[in-house]
Structure 1
Amino acid sequence: MGLFSELKMAVPWGHIAAKAWGSQRGSPVLCLHGWLDNANSFDRLIPLLPKHFYYVAMDFGGHGLSSHYSPGLPYYHQNFVGEIRRVAAALKWDRFAILGHSFGGIVGGMFACIFPEMVDKLVLLDSVPFVLDSNERENLLTYRRKLIEHTLQVEQDSKQPSRGLSREEMLQRFLKNNSHVGEECGELLLQRGATQVATGLVLNRDRRIARPEHSFEFISRELCVCSIKKLQASILLIKAIEGYHDVRRENDADKGPMLFIIDQLKSVLNERFQFVEVPGNHYVHLNQPNHVASVISSFLQSRDKIPASP
């Protein structure tokens, strides 16, 4: 399982890149990385998971080795949901499991509601299937304005050549912006997230996705409740004790929206929902994959209920 292959799937704006582990004859698992991350996010976890599955970790559009969207087109949450459907079509998957970290869990959760017949299991790594608008309602119009203005600014700035950084400078800047990632794991993400050019290293990701309000969709509690009722999948939610509770750090102390979603999942899904807490931070699957590997393995291999955290 230490060996992997690279995949490239054609889309109208270029291609979606992915890396795969295992035999194509195995039960399929689609792995979805977090916001601004890439498929290398799963490099340390997947080798610890059952060998008889076929794991495909994709780079969302504008991330990792996937193509950027065409100029002038913004990145909306539903675009990323649509990318999952495109990948499933390219791989000829009718039904599969999803393993999503953070933003990947949110995108995967929405996909599982829109295409419920296609997802049999959903693993959420320090994530929830939706982001509620509880703390964001008054800001939604402002975000839409910022999205347009930011896109125009990026287009203007792109006319200037990118400044390359040394590997050490790039790593230190990355770690400063990702306090939950250690140096070794930061280097792993940058292996796929940066490219060497004549002037140094430059980030691969599209600058248009540099603000969370461009990529996350904030939904009402009412829509959340309706969406959960559509789910056919069994769900395992793994909460890192030192992880995040909100998209924005300034709202992170408010656990209300997450607890509301968890209560709804428990109420609607009953035995199909499992909640487990593990020691670690938001990147526990990358920093300490052994903390989550066994519980994910049990969930993927069995429909029996695994021990829930108190």
Structure 2
Amino acid sequence: MGENAAPDFYYVAMDFGGHGLSSHYSSGVPYYHQTFVSEIRRVVAGGIVGGMFSCIFPEMVNKLILLDSPLLLLESNEVENLLTYKRRTIEHMLQVEASQEPSRVYSLKQLLQRLLKSNSHLNEECGELLLQRGTTKVAAGLVLNRDQRLSWPENSVDLVSRELYAHSIRKLQAHVLFIKAVHGYFDVRRENYSDKESLSFMIHTLKSTLKEQFQFVEIPGNHYVHMSEPQHVATIISSFLQHKHMLTAL
């Protein structure tokens, strides 16, 4: 998508620890979104992590783009399971570290089939793009770069209350663009998520607090629309970066 974006800006695509081409954390060190925020801080001197960074270091962010991702994750019914998640994080981490199994080698076809099976909204072309950064070539095929300790996303999620969410929004100094895919985040990432009221609350709070500093654009597509329709998304982002006027839905 970067090749279609406004040329007068410098774009950085980070691989957090345990992701893509970055190193894995040492044994005994868990993965948390707040840790990823500190990684951005080192680089700066995206998504939920970018939103958290913008609230913690508001003076460092002029414009924030949320690409089919909430600013922060609200606690919902899942808060009842929070301690279970914390326990499972520790147990899963210890289990993975104790196994000491060598990285399994796959063919590109095997990995692509596996990826598409677990992500029904992803097409083959986008799947191949994700695997380019998510794998490393070895003599017998490909190995996955992603740390096994990240296999359960909820283990690293930092849920916040509505009060903390509203307080965090008030700390923002950035202009915020929220691009929401019609069949996006809550459909792809949270297929069993039924409380859409939380998303409405988040958008309403952003609008009422940031006022003209907040822009919301809803576009056709799913969570991977930035990969399947990069020119469309890049046009919206470029307009936001280059101009101060409000955007209209395309």
Length-normalised TM-score, structure 2: 0.96
Q: Aligned partner of 1:73: which letter?
A: V
Decide whether the 8 Å contact of 1:112 with 1:231 is kept in 2. Answer: yes
Partner residue, 2:68: 126
1:86 aligns with 2:42: yes
Q: Deviation string for 1:21-47 (max 9, x for gaps)?
A: xxxxxxxxxxxxxxxxxxxxxxxx111
- Give the Cα–Cα distance (whole angstroms) in 2 for the partners of residues 240 and 291 of structure 1: 12
Report Cα offsets for 1:163-191 as digits up to 9, x if no partner.
Answer: 21111111111111222221111111111
Which structure 2 residues correspond to residues 249-288 of structure 1 after superposition, within 5 A?
249-251=191-193, 253-288=194-229
> Which is helix-richer, 1 or 2?
2
Deviations 1:129-174 (A, max 9, x none): 11001121100000000000100111122x2222211111111111
Q: Which runs of 5+ in 1 are unaligned?
A: 1-44, 90-99
Contact 1:279–1:291, Cα closer than 8 Å, also in 2: no
Letter matched to residue 77 of structure 1: H
- Whole-Å separation in 2 of the counterparts to 1:304 and 1:136: 38
Q: How many angstroms does 1:286 deviate by?
A: 0.6
Instruction: Give me the whole-angstrom Cα distance separating, in 2, the residues matched to 1:307 and 1:174.
Output: 34
Aligned to 1:37: none
- Indicate if the aligned counterparts of 1:274 and 1:308 stay in contact, CA closer than 8 A: no
Shift of 1:307: 1.6
Q: What is the Cα deviation at residue 308 of structure 1?
A: 4.8
Gap change, CA 1:187 and 1:308, over 3 Å in 2: closer
* Counterparts of 1:140 and 1:225, CA distance in 2: 21
How far did 1:290 drift?
Answer: 2.3
- Partner of residue 72 from structure 1, selected from 15, 23, 28: 28
Verify the 8 A CA contact 1:125 1:238 in the aligned structure 2: yes
Alignment of 1:114-193 (within 5 A): 114-157=56-99, 159-193=100-134
SS of the equivalent of 2:244 reads coil
Matches of 2:92 and 2:14, distance apart in 1: 26
Q: How far apart are 1:256 and its partner, in Å?
A: 0.9
Q: 1:298 offset after TM fit, Å?
A: 0.6
Q: 1:305 — aligned with what?
A: 246
Q: Secondary structure at the match of 1:225?
A: helix
Equivalent of 1:202 in 138, 143, 149: 143
Check the 8 A contact 2:219/2:249 in 1, yes or no: no
Percent identical pairs in the alignment equals 63
Residue in 1 that maps onto 2:48: 106
How many residue pairs end up in the alignment?
249
1:240 aligns with 2:159: no
- In the other structure, the counterpart of 1:96 is none
Given the two structures, how large is their TM-score scaled by the length of structure 1?
0.78
Specify the code of the residue in structure 1 equivalent to 2:160: I
Is 1:216 aligned with 2:157? yes
The answer to which structure has the higher strand fraction is 1
CA distance in 2, matches of 1:249, 1:212: 14
SS of aligned partner of 1:56: coil
Runs (5+) with no aligned partner, structure 2: none
**Which of the pair has the greater relative contact order for Cα pairs under 8 Å at 6+ separation?**
2
Contact 1:154 1:208 in 2 (8 A): yes
Shift in Å at residue 60 of structure 1? 1.0
Q: CA RMSD in A?
A: 1.3
